[in-house]
Structure 1
Amino acid sequence: MAPKKRQTAQPKGNKRVKASKTDDDDVGLPRCDSENTQLRKAITAVQDSVKSEPKGTCSTKLDYLFDSELTGVGNSGAKIHEDYACMLNQTDVINNNNKFYLIQLAEYEKEFHVFTRWGRVGETGQNSIACFSEAEEAVSEFTKKFTQKTGNKWQNRDNFAAKPKKYTLLAMDEDDTEEEAVVVKAETSAAGKNLVKKTVVSASGLPPCSLPYRTMITVQLIFSDDMFNGQMTEMNLDVRKMPLGKLSKVQIAKGLDVLIQLEEAVKNSEDKTTLADLTSKFFTLVPHSFGRTRPPLLDNAEVIKQKKDVMITLSDIELTQSLQKHKNEPVPKHPMDEKYESLNCKLELLDSGHDEYQVITSYVKGTTTDQNWKLLDVWCIDREGEEQRFRVNDSISARKLLWHGTSVAVVAAILNSGLRIMPHSGGCVGSGIYFASEHSKSLGYAGCHYGTFAGEKNTGFMFLSEVVLGRSKEIMQIDGSIKKAPAGYDSVVARGRKEPDPKKNTTITFDGRKVTVPVGKPIPQQPFKDSNFGQSEYLVYNEHQVRLRFLLKFSR
């Protein structure tokens, strides 16, 4: 019987944008640089790219308490006067200070109001409003408060210099995106349960969404502000209560720069005072919510690496947010169509009767240990520009379909930009892109959205990628210093004490080439019985050796 067809999520008439140069492995940071040199170059590139943009302003969206104070119920319609709005922050780990200070000036009913809100990060805090009949008086009050709190003049904020025992100005991205309500009007059944179609219209009367319903609600989730807020809260970043808007890429770059300084201070055995000052600087630049407990001292390599991981996740969230901002559509479209198109990635929903779907379910059953894991959907992925980049590997035949787990917060960024070797990447097998032959291994890295979304609870995502392994260097000892495959090799495999039974291997054919899929149950590997690794980890050190093939959505 012929396999059932895939359902393509590509609205007609959409013109695709060419992939960016970052897709090309030859463009980017040199592999010979040290990790921190690579990271510093990335930070400099970010800062240089935004020199022409306005700096140091908060979102022009009115603070929710300000709005409420003006009318008693909110929805005042008041707007920020010119650009007079800012978010300030100050952290001192020694004295247990971790506080914010927000200042906004708005015009409402022919009066000018200067609003301030202050308190501990993560809490609502206190607030006050001063009213003026003339704009000049209100501006004078705003700028006076800014100078009192920061030691800087408002008119010189583009060259802001942090002062001891004063607040620091945060660069915030505009927070002008809104969740779009959708209404399900009708439902009809298709051949397979994964192809249920629903006619979806925008609550604002825009054209119906052209995506399959299952694809539409997934796009809605991976761009959801509630999801991002939930993920940030897990990282102690309370963006809902803390500031208006979101940390900009410049602010993220500044935070990473301080982490590099901290890392080097730890290596050089600097004293506690130096580490405390740098820790305070980091938490000032990137506000964290610790409740009433003292902010922790970042005084060892492991906690600093964890914070680097947080910052990279934040940068992916910033990327996802930025995808939604550049809209210039001559014809109105449904918001989910716009978000989908911003991914520059074609998703095809697989029916449960498709041959590839059956292989994937066998792969899960053979290599998982989680009995509560439930597969919801599978999409085939065709990322813009990835096919052409992948052709450089045509002469290499050894390939496997391997797992990669990730946080739901970075799924959109990966679909848009691919799996990347980040400047700070590192682990037990060095700085590369990590994969696994066992579902249970990668599942440990798949951070879920805990809660209910579109009627589904605790949803997460995993990728299956075609990985060009070529000739693999096998290791059994942890070696975090590896930056590239050894001479004469194309990849590194940290051999586990168990591996899916190779006798059960099957294949999937992509572009006329067979790719191995290790669907068997893991069995002991006698040659690797003394390995440091319980399960195998597969590493490649060139991004062009990876092609995303499937996106899996699941619940737990």
Structure 2
Amino acid sequence: MPATRSRKRAASEEVVPEPVPQKKTRQTKKSKAEAKPEISQSASNATKDQPSKKSNKKSTTTGNKGTKAKGKNVKKVKDEKVKQDIGDDANAADTEKPDDEKPDEPKQESKTKNLEELKAGERSTQFAKANDLFIPVDKELHLPDQIYVYIDEDRTIYDASLNQTNASGNNNKFYKIQLVGDGHGSFWTWTRWGRVGENGQSEKLGDGSLQYARVCFEKKFKDKTGLNWEDRLNDPKSKKYVFLERSYEADSDDDGDDGGVKPEEEPIPESTLVPEVQSLMKFIFNQEYIRGTMADMNYDANKLPLGKLSKSTILRGYQTLKDLGALFDDHSLAGSVHNADYKEAVEQLSNRYYSYIPHAFGRNRPPVIETVDLLKREAQLLESLTDLKDSDDIMKPEKGKKINMLDARYNGLGMREMTPVGQSSAEFSNIHEYLNKTRGSTHGLNYKLLEVYRLEREGEETRFKKLEEGKSDRRLLWHGSRSTNYGGILSQGLRIAPPEAPVSGYMFGKGVYLADMSSKSANYCSHYISNNEALLLLCEAELGNPIQELTDATYSAGEDALAKNMLSTWGKGMTGPKAWKDAECIHANLKGVKMAQREEEEELLNTEAKKENMAEFHEIELTLSQSP
């Protein structure tokens, strides 16, 4: 289900991505046709045929960032109380009754089934799987450099990030709990709490012994979440903090075994990439643009950085949005499922979502997700976070390898081809013309073409040929997305939203969306974040024959098409291309592929093609720049 993309840089007000099955050409790179949730592709195959990520992470580290897995001698527990902590602010007080009795001793019995499943690898983000895992100590904990986060004999990491949002109470707060050692036999439980986006208050609990530090840690965790530490992955309790699963492996290469001493920096090798591809790598992996994207969508990267964001946390966010979408469609679920009236149920689910996916609203009240538009915006955030996390993984340096940073990022994409197309070539001119002639007058975008790249992903050609000859209908269609999403798009392909994602907000349900108008797709590019430049894909998309044609939106379009053995849905507007012609005029390898044919004065259909199934795509990358 590969989808290849080619993209060009062009000066345009916006470049918008519309997912559509894409076909490959020698001019374009192949890529998986797994759909992103913009226009839709079939959700059932959302995770198939994706390359697995490598994880060479370490499991235990010493120094100010690491944690040790070996147990320490247990000191006698003093007969003293765990101090009461204070709320994060006057508006959102984190109230807690004083602990008048001594906490119970930690139980040494066997773990619950939930924990056993974790250890079995079903959900093991909280377990140290390597020997030198990097676990960052809270940034506000100013202790000697030997400080580290404790890992017990079962390799459980004693690090808990909690979050709680209450829109009606204007609460959006965090709670951090860590069991730390100082390298000299003393252990403490460190807590910090406050409003998301602020440093908040902090407190150190314990008497220096490991046993009492564990008592403090586990009691504080239960006080805040309502759950035992071993049951931390259970569903969250109402009006309590939510435990955020974190990924620790992603940063393992940042620490190393040097005890905090940095080796002499060696000269960085020159890049082996041609200048145009170097420029593209800088554009896709631009850290300023990545920060701008997260800020634009109100994601709090300080609370949960990309490197710490786990896949399970994203899926929990998706599932909560899906529950909201179901509630929008059937108000009776408020009472039967959520034991509340409709308004209360919507707020409860909104609070849960914000607790899983931290947002920075400052002192503003978190908005209740009560409309389909707000729901769709949050689904788009989760899509972007998925791609951004892939980009973040690619940007992690590999230990012991002397390679130019741009070359390493290019290699991480797994591309078979990324070839700049000469601006004086007929291919460039024909694509330029197609870009301009598929611009809609109502989209309000002006742009110019800067660069064109021919793209193909590894294995795409083979996957693209699987469809039977007689059932083929290949077309050149557009897909737009934020420039910061392309690390994930090129390395993993166009992806369909996972089963946990809501169907609400997608005109024709989940799938990969593509358009026959470049300006339609360009509106999804958010060019204002990337210095008025954007990336647009021109995809050779296999739509299959026949195609389901619809004039009205329906969330069940994907299921309906698949039931008829169709790959795609064509959402038709009031006007459209009067004809389709052979794309051989762009490149000989595109012979037999259709492209929209229109005269300059014709009005082009605001048409969206949605891929129901994992189709094959070939892509051409365009770099666009907004015109003044």
TM-score range, shorter chain: 0.7 to 0.9
Does 2:370 correspond to 1:291?
no
- 1:380, CA displacement in angstroms? 0.8
User: Residue 404 of structure 2 is aligned with which of 311, 323, 334?
Assistant: 334
Instruction: Name the SS of the counterpart of 1:102 in structure 2.
Output: strand
Write the distance in 1 (CA, Å) between the matches of 2:312 and 2:472: 42
Listed one character per residue, the Cα deviations across residues 137-180 of structure 1 (whole Å, up to 9, x for unaligned) are 555544443343233444x155555334332211012352899x
Q: What is the TM-score of this pair, normalised by structure 1?
A: 0.73
Measure the CA separation in 1 of the matches of 2:357 and 2:388: 14
Partner AA of 1:515 in structure 2: V
1:444 corresponds to 2:513: no
Preserved contact between residue 473 and residue 485 of structure 1 (Cα < 8 Å): no
Cα 1:308–1:249 shift into 2, 3 Å? same
Distance 1:489 1:88 in 2: 45
Kept after mapping to 1: 8 A contact 2:188/2:209: no
The residue type equivalent to 2:623 in the other structure is: K
Tell me whether 1:60 sits opposite 2:135 in the alignment: yes
What one-letter code is carried by the residue in structure 1 that aligns with 2:591?
R
What aligned pairs does 1:419-498 form with structure 2 within 5 A after superposition?
419-422=494-497, 423=499, 424=501, 427-448=506-527, 450=529, 457-469=531-543, 470-472=545-547, 474-483=549-558, 484=561, 487=564, 491-498=568-575
Q: 1:504 to 1:406 in 2, by over 3 A?
A: same
Q: Judging changes above 3 Å, is the alpha-carbon distance between structure 1 residues 210 and 363 closer, same or farther for their aligned structure 2 residues? A: same
SS state at 1:465 partner:
strand
**CA shift in 2, pair 1:145/1:301, >3 Å:** same
* Whole-angstrom distance in 1 between the partners of 2:283 and 2:539: 22
CA distance, structure 1, for counterparts of residue 204 and residue 300 of structure 2: 24
- Checking the alignment, whether the CA contact within 8 Å between 2:167 and 2:368 is kept in structure 1 is yes
Give the CA deviation at 1:444: 0.6
The corresponding residue for 1:320 is 391
Match of 1:240 among 289, 302, 307: 302
Q: CA deviation at 1:440?
A: 1.3
What is the rounded CA distance, in whole Å, between the counterparts of 1:352 and 1:542 in structure 2? 35
Runs of 5+ in structure 2 lacking a partner?
1-5, 7-30, 35-39, 49-116, 152-156, 255-263, 335-340
- Say which SS state the counterpart of residue 124 (structure 1) adopts: coil
1:405 aligns with 2:405: no
Change (3 A) 1:117 1:493: same
Match of 1:184 in 2: none
CA distance in 1, matches of 2:241, 2:424: 60
How far, CA to CA, are the matches of 1:24 and 1:243 in structure 2?
Answer: 28
Which of structures 1 and 2 has the larger relative contact order (alpha carbons within 8 angstroms, sep 6+)? 2
Structure 2 distance, partners of 1:81, 1:244, is 23
SS in 2 for 1:392: coil
Letter in 2 for 1:442: S
Greater strand proportion: 1
* Corresponding residue for residue 528 of structure 1: none
Aligned to 1:208: 270
Are residues 1:355 and 2:426 paired? Answer: yes
Letter of the structure 2 residue corresponding to residue 214 of structure 1: E
Unaligned runs of 5+ in 1: 1-5, 7-21, 26-30, 42-46, 180-201, 452-456, 526-532
2:300 maps to amino acid: D
Q: Structure 1 residues 266 and 362, CA, compared in 2 at 3 Å: closer, same or farther?
A: closer
User: Helix, strand or coil: the match of 1:207?
Assistant: coil
Match of 2:415 in 1: 345
Change (3 A) 1:132 1:362: farther
* 1:417 paired residue number: 492
Deviation at 1:387, TM superposition (A): 0.9
- Aligned-partner residue type, residue 277 of structure 1: Q
1:412-456 per-position Cα deviation (integer Å, ceiling 9, x unaligned): 2221222233345663344443222222111111123625xxxxx
Residue in 2 aligned with 1:311?
Answer: 382
Q: 2:622 aligns with which of 529, 547, 552?
A: 552
Q: Does 1:366 align with 2:437?
A: yes
Bigger mean CA deviation after superposition, 94-103 or 298-307: 298-307
* Cα 1:477–1:167 shift into 2, 3 Å: closer
Change (3 A) 1:362 1:117: same
8 Å CA contact 1:87–1:243 kept in 2: the answer is no
2 CA distance for matches of 1:248 and 1:478?
33
Aligned partners of 1:24 and 1:389 also within 8 Å? no
State the Cα distance separating 1:288 from its structure 2 match.
1.8
Selected match of 2:586 from 508, 526, 536: 508
Quick one: structure 1 residues 355 and 105, their matched pair in 2 at CA, closer, same or farther if it must change by over 3 Å? farther
- Distance (Å, rounded) in 2 between the aligned partners of 1:62 and 1:310: 28
User: What is the root-mean-square deviation of aligned Cα atoms in Å?
Assistant: 4.1
Amino acid at match of 1:444: N
> What's the secondary structure of 2:427's corresponding residue?
helix
Q: 1:127 is matched with which residue? A: 202
> Which secondary structure state, in structure 2, belongs to the residue aligned with residue 535 of structure 1?
coil
Contact 1:258 1:278 in 2 (8 A): yes
Q: Secondary structure at the match of 2:302?
A: coil
CA distance in 2, matches of 1:344, 1:461: 19
1:222 shift after superposition: 2.8
Whole-Å separation in 1 of the counterparts to 2:188 and 2:288: 30
Cα shift readout 1:280-309 (whole Å, capped 9, x = no counterpart): 222212222222222222334443343333
Which deviates more from structure 2 when the two are superposed, residues 469-478 or residues 227-236? 469-478
Aligned to 2:293: 231
Q: Superposition pairs for residues 1-12 of structure 1, below 5 Å?
A: none
1:541 paired to 2:620: no
- Cα separation, partners in 2 of 1:240 and 1:204, compared to 1, 3 Å: farther
Give 2:320's aligned amino acid.
Answer: V
What's the secondary structure of 1:362's corresponding residue? helix
Number of aligned positions between the proteins: 481
- Does the CA contact (< 8 Å) of 2:431 and 2:586 recur in 1? no
Instruction: Specify the SS of the correspondent of 2:486.
Output: helix
User: Structure 2: how far apart are the matches of 1:479 and 1:162?
Assistant: 33
Q: Give the partner amino acid of 1:513.
A: K
Deviation at 1:99, TM superposition (A): 0.5
Change (3 A) 1:275 1:539: closer
Conserved? CA contact 1:459–1:555, under 8 Å: yes
Letter in 1 for 2:586: I
Question: In the alignment, which of 363, 368, 375 is matched to residue 449 of structure 2?
Answer: 375
- Amino acid corresponding to residue 436 of structure 2 in structure 1: K
Deviation at 1:81, TM superposition (A): 3.9
Amino acid at match of 1:341: N
Cα deviation, residue 241, structure 1: 5.0
- State the one-letter code of the partner of 1:335: M
Whole-Å separation in 1 of the counterparts to 2:179 and 2:528: 36
Can you list the C-alpha shifts for 1:41-76, whole angstroms capped at 9, x where unaligned? Answer: 9xxxxx99951523389971233333xx448xxxx5
Q: What are the residue-to-residue correspondences of 1:97-176 with 2, within 5 Å?
A: 97-107=171-181, 110=184, 114-129=189-204, 138-154=213-229, 156=230, 159-160=233-234, 162-174=236-248, 176=251
Distance (Å, rounded) in 1 between the aligned partners of 2:605 and 2:414? 37
Shift of 1:337: 2.4
Q: Is the 8 A contact 1:493 1:537 kept in 2?
A: yes
Determine whether 1:85 maps to 2:159. yes
The sequence identity of aligned pairs, in percent, is: 28
Change (3 A) 1:266 1:84: same
